[in-house]
Amino acid sequence: MRVVVQRSKQAQVTVDGAVVGSIDHGLVLLVGITHEDTEQDAKLAADKIAGLRIFEDESGKMNHSVLDVKGQILSVSQFTLYGDCRKGKRPNFMAAARPEQAKPLYDRFNELLREQGLQVETGIFGAMMDVSLINDGPVTLIVESK
């Protein structure tokens, strides 16, 4: 799994003009899944993200996790994270898992985050989505399960 993690002050995802998920404060996750990913990868990524100390403490140091600050998660599926741009000018998406494999694993990943006590909002898997956010910091990281 490959997850782009963005610390956010506010974020939302819209499909066909309707807001389908929104958060006030927390993390926006762009989630990519490849063929080799398993539930173990989803668990590793969910545990890492829930515990990432990327929110400031009273001294201004990144010492708190999204759990510590009672933040929320906006999780958006993003197969394009496995786009290979090394040859030509059109990305090759062969490394991205097919929807029938990716959707159950994406759903499980979100459930694993919820099991840790996080509020998780999502977009709609496979839909064309508009994602807007106020990136806090900005802080943007990439978490990979392998």
Residue 78 is among the residues annotated as catalytic for this protein: yes
- Report, as an integer, the average pLDDT of 56-63: 95
Helix then strand then coil, % of the chain, to nearest 5: 25, 40, 35
Active-site entry in 6, 34, 72, 79: 79
User: What is the model's pLDDT at position 6?
Assistant: 98
Reduce the DSSP state of residue 112 to 3 states and report it: helix
Which positions ≥6 away from 19 have C-beta within 8 Å? 12, 13
CA 5, chain centre distance (Å): 6
- Report, as an integer, the average pLDDT of 23-47: 98
Instruction: Give the pLDDT band (50/70/90) at residue 80.
Output: very high
Instruction: Give the pLDDT band (50/70/90) at residue 39.
Output: very high
Question: Which residue matches tokens 């496995």?
Answer: 82
pLDDT of residue 146 exceeding 90: no
Active-site entry in 6, 78, 109, 122: 78
- Report, as an integer, the average pLDDT of 62-87: 97
**Taking the complete model, does pTM exceed 0.85, yes or no?**
yes
State percent of the chain over pLDDT 70: 100
User: What is the model's pLDDT at position 78?
Assistant: 96
User: What is the model's pLDDT at position 18?
Assistant: 97
Instruction: Give the pLDDT band (50/70/90) at residue 57.
Output: very high
pLDDT of residue 91 exceeding 90: yes
